A and B are shown apart, each in its own frame.
Chain A
Amino acid sequence: MTVTRERFEQGMTYDEYKAQMTRNRDRLEENERTVELSTDDIEFFASLPEPLNVLVITEDWCGDAIANVPILGRLAAESGKLNLRIFLRDQNPDLMDQHLNRGVYRSIPVFAFFDQQFRPIGRWIERPAVITEMQEKMLANLYATDPAFADVAPGTSIAVLPDAPRARLMQAFAAFRAETRLLADREVVRELRELIGQWLATRQEA
């Protein structure tokens, strides 16, 4: 997980990224406008001992990226301590392959944090862990209790799922996304603070 200053500087600024988006810019900007950041969150980032470089890997078609990149954008704008450079996943495989989710998946967005000397601090990928866990539980509960899934094995491909359980699954996912939006936003910030907090603790010990 390394990047040179020269390679980092080849990325787009957040505003440049937004300007070149071909889809979902309205959704991204709506999320940027409505994400609720506490004063404590802003102060945490604003009081960092040095500005951090944040390498962001994203694409404008990705739902998780449209939800989570603007949270980072707001934190950067309001704290003045995060120097973002944005790279498109499919045009930068050299960077993407350094940040595979569980070593396998090209999940985005990726937020990779570096200090002023480009020493790695840590990285955050895709979505908050608690949201992934809640989604898995929601699915398990649906399969266990909804009559539409009576004869359907968990994990059955949508391609071979009958119409009734498929419709229920789509409804359940839509409801889940709506119900967890605020929690998901808060968890993104909390996980980023935790990641940087660990670096701060290590730094103080050194």
Chain B
Amino acid sequence: MDIDSGRHPPKIKIVYCASCGYEPQTLELVSALMHAFRYDIASIEIIPWQDGAFDVAVDGELIHSMYRDGGFPAPETIIRAVRERLAR
């Protein structure tokens, strides 16, 4: 919890298909989030999965799903979603 503001820093989950070679996209997104937010996020959880998945959730809300939205998310899309959480 952010002591100054009382806000709960967001928790981010990234699900990637481990049998599809999506490690580079996963690490690119993790790196972008780490550099954008430093201490302002509670955690980034990386979950290896299968069947072509690449999904990202912020505080339990699905921000991107490869099945639903297609393709990989631009890191900026996820960063924007996290910023919106922080602004609430």
Contact = CB atoms under 8 A, between A and B. Distances in A.
A159 B55 contact: yes
A65 to B, nearest CB: 9
Interface core residue of A59, A158, A166, A173 (most chain B CB under 10 Å): A158
A61 B15 contact: no
Given A63-B50, A105-B52, A173-B50, A160 B60 contact: yes
Contacts of B50: 63, 173
Contacts of A90: 21
Interface residues of B, number: 19
Given A157-B62, A158-B47, A159-B14, A64 B55 contact: no
Contacts of A159: 13-15, 47, 55-57, 62, 65
B50 to A, nearest CB: 7
Contacts, number: 40
A18 B85 CA distance: 48
Contact of B20 (A62, A166, A173): A62
Contacts of A157: 15, 53, 55, 57, 62, 65, 67
Interface of A: 59, 61-64, 90, 105, 157-160, 166, 173
Given A64-B19, A159-B65, 15 more contacts: A62-B20, A90-B21, A105-B52, A157-B15, A157-B53, A157-B57, A158-B15, A158-B49, A159-B13, A159-B47, A159-B55, A159-B62, A160-B57, A160-B60, A173-B50
30 contacts: A59-B21, A61-B19, A61-B21, A62-B19, A62-B20, A63-B50, A64-B19, A90-B21, A157-B15, A157-B53, A157-B55, A157-B57, A157-B62, A157-B65, A157-B67, A158-B15, A158-B49, A158-B53, A158-B55, A159-B13, A159-B14, A159-B15, A159-B47, A159-B57, A159-B62, A160-B60, A160-B61, A160-B62, A166-B47, A173-B50
